[in-house]
């Protein structure tokens, strides 16, 4: 009898999870249709859309659909993949269907947004012919939807012609305007006027911090500005992400520089008798350098530079780092995970977005050129902008209604928002990320060693000046040799520049450490 009971109990333990599991959505192999989506979003976001969109789509069309997620890493890695796929696809189209010879000129021209074919194709140069052929084609990279990232990447993809008008502006004109989704806010674009991409979520950037760790380190107050992350007490305690791998962190770093330009502008604005353009140019040049210096000191406090923006918040929540820079979605999530303690005291994790140091940025979505499942792709965009994905969990269960409501936070009512000036930094986001990587990441051991000696010596001004010498990466240099190397057809130019800059910074750091040790003796 006991043996039978044990067998029944074992069978129940094994079988009940299979009997009680939720009904599974159709898979790629069994669904009527498939949608291929490439995204940097985490599994939680992908799960919500994988559950909600098929149900919404079936209710509208009567057909089942499955999402085939393609997850390569951060947005920067995704864009590199997309660009390489379109190069291969267009090369096959150009040499195969059109029977034209391939060259480096054709490869550069077909994705060059500055080339504008006119109405006389007979007069086209090879470059214009390649560009015209690409824009008139439906060649595909095998992806339907690009979902998530930042406006910078989508503006680049739109200019190149890799993403196309989804028709969402014409289908839902009521959504796009100052009363619902403005075309821009505080200088940040929220959707493309030609309908090639739209933002469906707003996010900003801030600092996630562990209160227990700050107390252990003797930090007097919780961080309330980017400048707080350069506190010498945070040596080896700041979690950062490689800006060349994550567009969200590259945007956060750009916000740091924008804030420094604004501060310098405010100082120079007190001067009279000088033309405004002259003051602005000086503010941009000097604010750029000040921003890089601040990022350098924050980098000197870095525990690491990871390749995914999702890792720093996790490490701060776990106490492996005291603070980190992250997007608010991850920062507020970490705060909520630890919001309540058993004794009712304040949670161990906090999050703060500097109101004058960050802007609200959209999380865009777009349909790719030549999308294999174009109709489903357009439906996915429509779904992402509807109320269903927002309210699916909030309002599906009636018992939750008294406790759920639309957000109480109005993103358009910030007390002192930073105004984003794309003309200042947007043209050099890639260059900025490259410089930060070389200055802080590739030379991290030398930077940390110099910073440690400088702190030990009491922050001597001459050592700080040497460490923070940005003469090799000024705004003029960004617009000159750095931009030229990164946009060169010969990729060896970028490697050579990285090597030379890294060597120069290593010499600076060694000299700064030497000066600091001389003070300490």
d(CA 257, CA 284): 9
Average pLDDT over residues 19-45: 78
pLDDT score for 14: 77
Write down the mean pLDDT value for the chain.
88
d(CA 81, CA 38): 10
502 has pLDDT over 90 = yes
By CB atoms closer than 10 A (0-12, 13-18, 19+), residue 88 is: exposed
Where exactly are the structural domains of the chain?
75-203+361-413, 205-358+416-520
Q: What is the band of 293 on the pLDDT scale with cuts at 50, 70, 90? A: very high
295 neighbors 250 (Cβ within 8 angstroms): no
d(CA 243, CA 247): 6
pLDDT score for 456: 94
pLDDT score for 407: 57
Q: Which CATH superfamily is domain 205-358+416-520 in?
A: Periplasmic binding protein-like II (3.40.190.10)
Average pLDDT over residues 359-383: 94
Share of the chain above pLDDT 90, in %: 61
Q: What is the band of 367 on the pLDDT scale with cuts at 50, 70, 90? A: very high
pLDDT score for 302: 95
299 neighbors 447 (Cβ within 8 angstroms): yes
39 has pLDDT over 80 = yes
Of the candidate CATH numbers 3.40.190, 2.60.40, 3.30.230, 2.40.128, the domain formed by 75-203+361-413 belongs to 3.40.190
Side-chain-side CA neighbours of 214 within 13 Å: the count stands at: 20
Q: Each residue of 243-258: b (16+ CB within 10 Å) or e?
A: bbbbbbbbbbbbbbbb
d(CA 450, CA 439): 13
The residue written with tokens 């009491």 in the block is 458
Average pLDDT over residues 147-172: 93
Q: In terms of Cα–Cα distance, which of 363, 355, 358 is closest to 414?
A: 355
Asked if domains 75-203+361-413 and 205-358+416-520 share a fold, the reply is yes
250 has pLDDT over 80 = yes
Which secondary-structure segment (H or E) carries 78?
helix 75-92
Over residues 447-489, the pLDDT tens digits come to 999 999 999 999 999 999 999 999 999 999 998 999 999 988 8
Q: What is the band of 218 on the pLDDT scale with cuts at 50, 70, 90? A: very high
433 neighbors 250 (Cβ within 8 angstroms): yes
């Amino acid at each position: 009898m006991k043996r039978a009971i044990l067998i029944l109990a074992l069978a129940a333990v094994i079988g009940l999870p299979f009997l009680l599991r939720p009904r599974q959505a159709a898979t790629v192999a069994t669904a009527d249709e498939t949608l291929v989506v490439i995204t940097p979003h985490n599994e939680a976001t992908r799960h919500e859309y994988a559950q909600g969109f098929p149900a919404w789509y079936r209710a509208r069309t009567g057909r089942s659909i499955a999402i085939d997620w393609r997850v390569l890493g951060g947005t920067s890695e995704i864009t590199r993949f997309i660009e390489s796929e379109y190069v291969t696809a267009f090369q096959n189209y150009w040499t195969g269907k059109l029977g034209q010879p391939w060259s480096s000129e054709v490869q550069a021209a077909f994705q060059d947004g500055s080339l504008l074919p006119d109405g006389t194709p007979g007069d086209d140069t090879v470059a214009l012919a390649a560009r015209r052929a690409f824009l008139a084609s439906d060649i595909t990279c095998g992806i339907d939807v690009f979902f998530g990232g930042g406006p910078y990447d989508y503006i680049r993809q739109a200019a190149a012609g890799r993403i196309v008008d989804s028709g969402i502006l014409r289908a839902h004109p009521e959504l796009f305007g100052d009363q619902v989704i403005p075309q821009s806010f505080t200088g940040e674009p929220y959707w493309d006027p030609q309908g090639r991409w739209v933002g469906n979520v707003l996010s900003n950037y801030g600092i996630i911090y562990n209160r227990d760790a700050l107390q252990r380190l003797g930090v007097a107050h919780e961080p309330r500005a980017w400048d707080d992350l350069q506190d010498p007490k945070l040596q080896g305690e700041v979690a950062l992400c490689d800006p060349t791998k994550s567009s969200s962190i590259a945007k956060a770093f750009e916000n740091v520089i924008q804030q420094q330009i604004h501060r310098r502008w405010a100082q120079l604005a007190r001067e009279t008798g000088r033309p405004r353009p002259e003051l602005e140019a000086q503010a941009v040049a000097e604010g750029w350098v000040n921003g890089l210096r601040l990022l350098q000191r924050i980098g000197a406090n870095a525990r690491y530079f990871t390749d995914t923006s999702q890792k720093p918040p996790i490490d701060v929540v776990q106490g492996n780092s005291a603070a980190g820079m992250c997007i608010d979605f991850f920062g507020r999530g970490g705060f909520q995970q630890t919001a309540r303690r058993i004794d009712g005291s304040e949670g161990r994790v906090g999050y703060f977005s500097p109101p004058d140091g960050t802007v609200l940025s959209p999380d865009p979505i777009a349909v790719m050129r030549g999308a294999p499942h174009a109709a489903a792709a357009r439906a996915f965009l429509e779904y992402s902008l509807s109320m269903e994905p927002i309210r699916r969990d909030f309002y599906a269960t009636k018992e939750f209604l008294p406790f759920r409501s639309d957000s109480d936070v109005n993103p358009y009512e910030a007390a002192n928002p930073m105004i984003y000036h794309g003309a200042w930094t947007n043209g050099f986001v890639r260059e900025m990320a490259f410089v930060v990587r070389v200055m802080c990441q590739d030379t991290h051991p030398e930077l940390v060693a110099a910073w440690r000696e400088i702190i030990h010596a009491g922050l001597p001004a001459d050592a700080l000046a040497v460490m923070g010498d940005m003469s090799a990466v000024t705004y003029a240099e960004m617009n000159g040799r750095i931009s030229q190397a990164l946009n060169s057809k010969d990729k060896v130019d970028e490697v050579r520049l990285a090597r030379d800059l890294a060597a120069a910074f290593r010499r600076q750091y060694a000299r700064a450490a030497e000066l600091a040790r001389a003070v300490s003796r």
